[in-house]
Amino acid sequence: MMRDKIREKSYDIDDEYYYSIVRENIKKYRKSKKLTQQELADMTEISREYICDVENANRNKHITIGLLGRIAQALDIDMDKFFKKND
């Protein structure tokens, strides 16, 4: 019975949904710390171009968990905050 309920469940959320939330939050927290993309890049040893690509929805760049952790550490926030949708 439980397996049938699990199979019936449909998920409308996909990877792109979470990438868009993460993208928005990286930019939001970076700006709240008054950091430029270059400053964040220097702090994380990630290129400015990569940070720009991640923040820009039109470029469809995805970020790894490892790089996301480095950004969270540089911004001094818990990584889970990147996954919270802003209303």
Residue 31 included in any domain: yes
Structural domain count, the chain: 1
pLDDT, one tens digit per residue, over 16-53 is 889 999 999 999 999 999 999 999 999 999 999 999 99
Residue 1 included in any domain: no
Residue 85 included in any domain: no
Residue 86 included in any domain: no
Contact criterion met (CB below 8 Å) for 53 and 59: yes
Buried b / exposed e along 41-72 (16+ C-beta atoms within 10 A): beebebeeeebebbbeeeeebebeeebbebbb
Q: pLDDT band at 86, cuts 50/70/90?
A: confident
Residue 5 included in any domain: no
Residue 21 included in any domain: yes
Q: pLDDT band at 6, cuts 50/70/90?
A: low
Residue 18 included in any domain: yes
**pTM assigned to the model:** 0.81
Which domain, by its residues, includes 71? 14-79
pLDDT, one tens digit per residue, over 51-81 is 999 999 877 778 899 999 999 999 999 999 9
CATH code for the domain of 38: 1.10.260.40
Residue 49 included in any domain: yes
